[in-house]
Structure 1
Amino acid sequence: MGDESADRADRLGPELAELAAAYGVATEYWDWRGNHVEVARATIVAVLAALDVDASSPAVIRRELTAAAQQKWRHLLPPCVATREDVATRFAVHVPHGAHVTVWVELEDGTRRGDVTQVHHLVAPQWIDDRLIGEATFSLPPDLPTGYHRLLARSDGRSADVPLVVTPARIPMPSSVAAHRSWGYAVQLYSARSRRSWGLGDLADLADLVSWSGRELGAGFVLPNPLFASDPTVPVEPSPYLPTSRRFISPLYLRVEDVPEYGYLSPAALASLEAIAQPCKAMNTSPALLDRDAVWAAKLAALEALQAVPLSPGRAGEYREFLAREGSALTDFATWCVLAELHGDDWHEWPVALRSPSSPEVAAVRSASASRVSLYCLAQWWLDEQLASVQARAVAAGMGLGVVHDLPVGVHPDGADAWALSDVLANGIGVGAPADEFNQQGQDWSLPPWRPDRLAATGYAAWRSLASGVFRHAGGLRVDHVIGMFRLWWVPAGMPAHQGTYVRYDHEALVGILSLEAARAGAVLVGEDLGTVEPWVRDVLRERGILGTSVLWFERQSDGSPLPPEVWRELCLATVTVHDLPPSAAYLSGAHVRLRASLGLLTRSVEEELAAFQSEQALWQSTLTARGLLRPGAGEQEVIEALHRYVALTPSRLVGVSLTDAVGDRRTQNQPGTNKEYANWQQPLCGPDGEPVLLDDLPTLERLRALAATLATLR
C-alpha cells in the first residue's frame, strides 16, 4: 500500500499538467537514448514556484489556473510583440465589450503608422473582475522595417504602449562568408600567453594572434573563449562560462601597457608597476596551473595607478561619451564590484538593504565610494578601446570576420548580473543539461535562468541590451547552448541534475533580437546546437541564417559510422574538437575515458567504455585510409592532420581549429560534470612535451603550419 500511495502522490494529475503547460514547463521529454521520461511532480511544483506559481494543493492549482487563463484579458495589449519582417502578424487587444479601440505603430525613427487593421476573429467575451471584456484581433502591416518600435492602443479612457520588435526574416550572410569558406583558430585566450603577458593571455595577445594568423596563414577569424567579467575578489572564478556579467569584460584581459594613460605615469609609478608585473611575467614560461589570483592582484594595482593619471580634455570627452552610452548598466556593475569588495562576492549574503541596486542604501554606498566606482568604469572603457583595436587589426590583416565572440549560457548566481537583473531571473534554479552520452548523470551549471514571463513583461530590455553589447566589436558571435533560446533545462535547488525539466521560451523574440543585432553589425551568428536538440530547432536556425555547430566526433550515421563529409551541413561551424573535449592528441589515446573514470563520471565499466572508444577509433582510421587521407601506420600528428582534412572536405562555411591541436597540447581544459575535482580552465597552452608554447613562437612551429596547410583549400 505504501508504494501505491507514493505513486499516487507523484502523479501530476490533469490540472497540474495544464498549469505547467500554461507556463511552458514540460511534464515529459525524450532522453538521449530515445526513451520517454515523465517528470516528477516535485520537480514541476518546484519549477512553478520559481515562477511565483503556487502548486501546493489541488485547490490552489485550480485558483492558479483561473489566474493564468485571465491574465491576458486584464491588459489592453500584450506586454511585447515580436515578429519578422514581411509577416502580417496578428495580436489580440482586450477592451470592455463593445468599446471602440484605436491601434497604431510608432517606428523608432518617429514615423507613425496607422495602417494596423482589425481582422474578423470571433472570440466570446469574458467576465473579468465584474466587467465583460471583449477580444479584438488586429494585424500588423507586413512592410514594417526591422527595428525596435512601439505598438500603441487607446480605448475607453485607457491607453497602452508596448515594445514592437520587427526582426529580419534571415540574417544577411556577411560577404566574406558568402564568397568563400573560411577557417580560424579557437583559443582559450587566458591560456595563450606571450612573453609580454602578465601570466595570462590578454587582448594584446589576441590582437597579435588575429594579425599574424590573418596575414601569414589566411585565417578568416579567431574564436576566443568568453571574455566576460569575473568577480573582483579572490579566489577568481576560473570558468569563462560562469561570468559575473555577460555585459562587461574581465580586466584580467587588459594589456596594461597599451592603456594611453600608461605613458604618463611617473617614473616611480612605472618602476612600481614593473616590479609588480615581473612575477606574473615569470609565470609565462611555467607549465604550472594558471594563477588568476596573482594576476588580478597585479592588474588591480595597475588600474589604481592608471586612475591617478588625469585624462586629457579629448580623452575626458571620449570617456563621458562611453559612460553615457553604457548608462545605468555600467554604474550598477561598478557598484556591485565595490560592494563585493566590501561585503564579499555573494550578494545573497549582503545586508538586506544592499540586495537591490535601486535601494537608497546602495545609492549611499555609490556616492561614498564614487572614486572606487569610477575605477571599475574606467577599466571597462579601456577594455572597450582594446577590444575595438583587436577587431580593427583583424580586419586590417585581411580577416573576413575577425573576432567571433562567445556568449555563455548564463551568469554566476551570486554575481553582478544576477544582482542587477534579479527581477528577470529565476531564483532557486540552476540551468543545466539532462543526461547524455558524455555526461550520463546530467549537468547542473548553477546558472540562474531568464524568467520567460518577466522577459516579456519588460519588453526583453535586458536581452536587447546584452545583444547590442556583444556585437559592438565583433565580426561574429557563437552562442553557447543555443537551444537555451528555445528551452532550458531547469534544475531546482537541492535536486540532482537528471531530475530537472525543460522550460520553454519565446524563441521568436530571443532569436529574433539576436538576429536583428547581428544584421545591424554585419556579423555572422553561430549557434552551438550539440547534444539533445529537437530537429525543428535546427530548421528554425537554418531559416534565420544562423549557422549550426558540427563536431567531428559527434557526426555519425545511424549505424555509428562516421558521417560522410559531403552530407555535413553547409550553414555550420565545423571542428574536430571543442573546449569540453580533450585536445585531439589526448582524445586519440583514450585519455578522456580514463579521466572520466578517475572522476567517477561513467555509468558503465572502464572496460566497456574503452572497448567502445577503440571501436570508434578503428572506424575513423579505416574511413580516413579509405579516402586517401591517411596512410596505414601513420603517427599521431598525421592522424590529427587527416581529421582536419576530413573536415575540410565538408561544405561547412566555417571551419574551426583548436589552438591546442595546432601545438599538440594534451591537457584537457574542461571536464564537464566536475567542479573542484579537476582543474578546469587552468591549463596553460603547452606542447606535446608538456612545456609552455608562447604566442611569440607560433610562427616557427612546424606542426602548426602543417596543420594550417590542410585548410588552404578553403580559400
Structure 2
Amino acid sequence: MDNSSYDGLRQSAIAAGIGLNFYNAYGHLQEISEESLSKLLAALDTDAAHKIDKDRLLDPVYVTYQGDEQHYTIRNADLFKWELRLEDGTLKANGQQDWPSLHFPSDLPLGYHTLTLTKLSGTPTEKETRIIVAPKRCFEPKALQEHKRLWGACVQLYTLRSENNWGVGDFGDLKQLVRKVSEKGGAYVGLNPLHSLFPANPASASPYAPSSRRWLNVIYIDVTAVEDYQNSDEAQTWFKRQDIQNRLQMARNTEYVDYSLAQELKLEALEIAYKQFKQRPQTDLLHTQFAEFVQKGGDSLYQQAAFDALHSKLAEHDKMQWGWPVWDKSYSDFHSPAVTEYCKQNADKVNFYLWLQWIAAAQLEACYQESQSLEMPIGIYRDLAVGVGEGGAEIWGDKDLYCLGASVGAPPDVLGPQGQNWGLPPMHPAVMFDRAYQPFIDLLRANMASCGALRMDHVMGLLRLWWIPYSQTADKGAYVHFNVDHFLAILALESQRHQCMLIGEDLGTVPPEIVEKLKNSAVYSYKVVYFENANNHFFAPYDYIQQAIATITTHDLPTLRGYWEKNDFDLGRSLGVYKDEGVLHHLSEDRDWKKQGMLDALHQHGCLPHDYQRDAKQVQMDATLNRAVHQFIAQSKTALIGLQPEDWLDMSSPVNIPGTSEEYPNWRRKLTHSIEEIFAQQNVSDLLNLVNHHRNS
C-alpha cells in the first residue's frame, strides 16, 4: 500500500473510532497493522450504517447533565419550527425561527425528552431528537453513603447444591442463600450473569456468551415452587415415578452440572405445569399478570420465545443446529415469512417459552423481595455480560445493531499470552447512536430489575473494546472507541431510577482516561487481592480505595487454595493454555514472589500469629492461612468485599479457565457441599464472625 493510500486508511480508521495503536500489557506502544485496520473498517461498513441519515438538522441524541444550559446548532435549515416535550408528554416550549441555534435553560428535569424539528424551507421534513438529561452520579445505597463497610457472598448460581434442587442451583436455592447470608450479617448475594442461554443446546453453558442479555436463563426456575406444578396431579404423579427419582438423584450427585439432564427434567415438569396453567379461567389473576408481563416485554420478549421454540424444534432432528447461522436460510432471520408462519402454527409452543420467562422473572423478584424484607442494604447484585453469542436470539432479531464481521475479546497479556477471542459480535457504535442509545437503555433496565447492584463485566467497554476481525486470532485486533461520557450519563440516570448501584469490573489494562470518569460517576471499582501489589509488595488494607469492592478471587481466577498451590499453572500446561515453557516458568517464579509478598503482608497487618512460618516456600495452605487472608480483606477500606464459598470450603478446582472451551468443564463445577451443610459448619460460622468483626470495627 502506498503512503497516500495508507494515510487514507488511517484517517478512515480514526473517523470510525478505531485506535491506530495502544499500550500493551508490557507498557509498550504497539501499532495496529494495515490488514487489521482494513478488516475492521470492512466490519463497520454494514447496510445499517449506510442507512443512517447524514443530513439531519440535529444529531439523533444529545446527552447533558441536570443543571447545565443547552445550546444546539441547527444544520442546513433556513426556516424551521420546533417543539420540546418532556418525557411525561408535557409541552415545555415551542416556536418558529430562522436563526440556526436553540437555547434551553438549565431547569430541564431528569429524563428522556423529545425535541421535534420541522424544516419549512425547501422540502418539508420532520425529525425527532432525544434530549437525555442525567444526574452526575449513580445511585449509592444509604449504608454506603454512611460509610459502612459491607460484605456479601459471590456465587455462580448453578454451582449451588441443596437438598431440593434438580442438579443445578436455582432461584429456590438463591432465596435460601439470601436468608443464610443475611443471618450471618451479609449485605448481599452476588451472582453470575442470569442471561438467557440456549434451552435446546444446554451444553452452551457460558453465562458470558448468552443468547440474550435482556431475558433470563430458564434453567434457574425452581420447579417445585411453581404454583401450577404444585396443583397438578399429573405433575405429582410424574415426580413420584422411580425413573424420575433416579434421574433427579443422578443430577444432584454429579460433581459437575449435567445441564442436559437438568434441562430435560425441568422442561418435562414445566410442560406439565403449563398444561395446568392453561386450565385456569382467563379472568384468573395469574393469567392477567402473565398477559401484562408479555405486553410489557414487547417484541424483544416475543423474539426470545420464538427463538427458543424454533430452536427446540430444529434441535430435535439435528443437535448441531446450535444457532441461527447454521439454520435453514428461511429461518435465519426473526422477521422472515417462514418464522412468522412457524410462530402462527406453533403459537402454544411460543407461549410456553413466554410463560417460562414470566415464571423466571417472578421467582427472581421474589428472591430480591426476600432480601429487602430482611433489610439487606443491597440484597442481590447481578452481573451484566459484555456481549452476546453470535448464534442467539438477540442478534437473530436485530442484526442491524451488530457488526457480524468482528468479535470482541482481549489483546495478549501476561496471564493470557495468546489473547482472548470471546466470539461475541460487538454492537455498531454508529447504529447505537442513531437509535439514541435505546438498545443500551433497554439493556440496563432489564438488568437493573430485581437487584440492588449491577456489576458490569469489562466496564472499560464503555470507553473502548478490543475488536477482532472475524475468524482472526486475538492478536490481530484493535481497540474501537465509544462515547464514554454518554454511556456514563445514561448509566447514572437508570441507576438512580432503579435505585441500583454500579460496580465496574476494571481489571487488566485500564486506560487512565476512564479511571477518573468512573470515580466521578460513582461507579465502584473492582479490586482483587491477588493483583493489589507493586513489586510483590501487597498494598495495606488501609491503602485500598473506599469506592470499590474487593475480592480475593474471581470466576476467571484460581481459588485461594488453587492460587497458593499454583494449580492454575498445572492445569494451564496440561490444557495447552501456556504453550511457551519459558513464559510458564516466569509466571511460576513470579507467583512464588507474590506468595511471599502476601505472607509478609498478612504478618505485617496482624492477620497471622507471630510464630506462624514466615517463609512462603515452607507454608502449605491451611485453615490459619485461609482465615488470615479473609481477615486481611475484611480489614480493607473498600466499601464492599465479596467472598466466595469456594474459599470457605477450601476448594482447589476453578469454575472457569480462560482460553479453554472443550478442554475443561467450564461453568459446570459445583460446590463440594450443599447450602445446608455450608452454614451448618462451625468453621464457616467462625470465619464469617471474623469477617463481621473486622468489617464493623
Q: TM-score scaled by structure 2? A: 0.92
Matched, 1:143 2:107: yes
Distance 1:468 1:612, change over 3 A: same
Q: Which residue of 2 aligns with 1:678?
A: 664
After TM superposition, give the deviation of residue 405 of structure 1 in Å. 0.5
Distance across 2 between alignment mates of 1:614 and 1:115: 69
**Contact conserved, 1:95 with 1:101, CA < 8 A, in 2?**
no
Structure 1 residue 112 corresponds to structure 2 residue 80: no
State the AA in 1 paired with 2:228: E
Equivalent position SS for 1:684: coil
Question: Larger deviation: 273-282 or 295-304?
Answer: 273-282
Q: Residue in 1 aligned with 2:616?
A: none
Q: Does structure 1 residue 74 correspond to structure 2 residue 55?
A: yes
Match in the other structure for 1:101: 80
Q: Does 1:195 align with 2:163?
A: yes
**Are residue 329 (structure 1) and residue 315 (structure 2) matched?**
no
Whether the 8 Å contact between 1:199 and 1:280 is mirrored in structure 2 is no
CA displacement, residues 40-93 of structure 1 (integer Å, 9 cap, x when unaligned)? 111111111111179xxxxxxxxxxxx99x988611121222222222344442
| 1:251–1:299 CA contact under 8 A, matched in 2 | no
Q: CA, structure 1 residues 594+324, in 2 after alignment: closer, same or farther (shift >3 Å)?
A: same
Alpha carbons 2:448, 2:498 under 8 Å: kept:
yes
| 2:19 is the alignment partner of 1:26 | yes
Q: Which residue of 2 aligns with 1:565?
A: 541
Counterparts in 2 of 1:71 and 1:257: CA distance versus 1, 3 Å: closer
**Matches of 2:365 and 2:653, distance apart in 1:** 32
> Superposed, which structure 2 residues align to 1:114-513 within 5 Å?
114=93, 136-156=100-120, 157-179=124-146, 180-214=148-182, 216-266=183-233, 268-275=234-241, 277-283=244-250, 286-309=253-276, 310-312=279-281, 313-343=284-314, 344-513=321-490
Shift of 1:701: 1.4
Matched with 1:64 is none
User: Does the CA-based 8 Å contact 2:656-2:666 persist in structure 1?
Assistant: yes
Inter-partner Cα distance in structure 1 for 2:99 and 2:34: 35
Q: For structure 1, which segment, 536-545 or 286-295, has the greater mean C-alpha deviation from structure 2 after superposition?
A: 286-295
Separation in 1 of the partners of 2:72 and 2:561? Answer: 55
Give the whole-Å Cα distance in 2 for the aligned partners of 1:668 and 1:485. 28
TM-score, normalised via structure 1 length: 0.90
1:128-150 CA-partner distances (Å, limit 9, x unpaired): xxxxxx99454443222111221
The offset of 1:443, in angstroms, is 0.3
Change (3 A) 1:337 1:285: closer
CA distance in 1: counterparts of 2:429 and 2:450, whole angstroms: 28
**AA in 2 matched with 1:222:** V
In structure 2, what is the Cα distance between the partners aligned to 1:445 and 1:9? 34
> Structure 1 residues 17, 116: CA separation in 2 closer, same or farther (over 3 Å shift)?
farther
8 A contact 1:10–1:41 mirrored in 2: no
Q: Is the 8 A contact 2:81 2:95 kept in 1?
A: no
CA contact (8 A) 1:116 1:141 kept: no
Displacement of 1:287: 4.9
Which of 8, 12, 15 pairs up with 2:8?
Answer: 15
Q: Is the 8 A contact 2:81 2:94 kept in 1?
A: no
Q: Does 1:516 align with 2:497?
A: no
Contact 1:198 1:277 in 2 (8 A): no
For residues 203-239 of structure 1, give each alpha carbon's deviation from its aligned partner in whole angstroms, at most 9, with x where no partner exists. 000000001110x211000001111111121343121
1:305-339 CA-partner distances (Å, limit 9, x unpaired): 01101235111111111111111111111111122
Per-residue deviation, 1:161: 0.8
Residue identity in the other structure for 1:638: T
> In the alignment, is the contact (CA less than 8 A) between 1:354 and 1:361 conserved in 2?
yes
Deviation at 1:608, TM superposition (A): 2.7
CA distance in 2, matches of 1:137, 1:564: 54
Deviation at 1:356, TM superposition (A): 2.4
Q: For residue 91 of structure 2, what is the amino acid of its counterpart?
A: R
Structure 1, gaps ≥5 residues long: 1-7, 55-66, 119-133, 687-692
In the TM superposition, residue 371 of structure 1 has moved relative to its aligned partner by 0.4
CA deviations on 1:110-144 (whole Å, 9 max, x unpaired) are 122238999xxxxxxxxxxxxxxx99454443222
Question: Following superposition of structure 1 onto structure 2, how do residues 551-562 of structure 1 map, counting pairs within 5 Å?
Answer: 551-557=528-534, 559-562=535-538
Q: 1:278 to 1:166 in 2, by over 3 A?
A: farther
Distance 2:547 2:666 in 1: 31
User: CA shift at 1:191, angstroms?
Assistant: 0.8
Q: Is the 8 A contact 1:193 1:202 kept in 2?
A: no
In structure 2, the CA distance between the partners of 1:382 and 1:232, relative to structure 1 (3 Å rule), is same
Deviation at 1:433, TM superposition (A): 0.6
Q: What is the count of residue pairs matched by the alignment? A: 669
Identity of aligned residues (%): 29
Superposition map of 1:516-535 within 5 A: 516-535=493-512
| Cα root mean square deviation, aligned | 2.3
Q: Tell me which residue corresponds to 2:677.
A: 697
The answer for the alignment partner of 1:709 in structure 2 is 689
Q: Judging changes above 3 Å, is the alpha-carbon distance between structure 1 residues 29 and 305 closer, same or farther for their aligned structure 2 residues?
A: same
Residue 630 in 1 paired to residue 602 in 2?
no
Could you say if the C-alpha distance between residues 644 and 303 of structure 1 is closer, same or farther in structure 2, counting changes exceeding 3 Å? same
- Correspondence 1:16-55 to 2 at 5 A: 16-52=9-45
Supply the distance in 2 between the matched residues of 1:89 and 1:710 (Cα, whole angstroms).
Answer: 53
Task: Verify the 8 A CA contact 1:232 1:337 in the aligned structure 2.
Answer: yes
Consecutive unaligned residues of structure 2, counting only runs of 5 or more, are 315-320, 614-618
Q: Deviations over 1:589-637 (max 9, x none)?
A: 1111222222232343443322211111011111111221113237522
Q: Is the 8 A contact 1:594 1:606 kept in 2?
A: no
Preserved CA contact (<8 Å) 1:116 1:139: no
Change (3 A) 1:480 1:393: same
Distance 1:116 1:88 in 2: 18
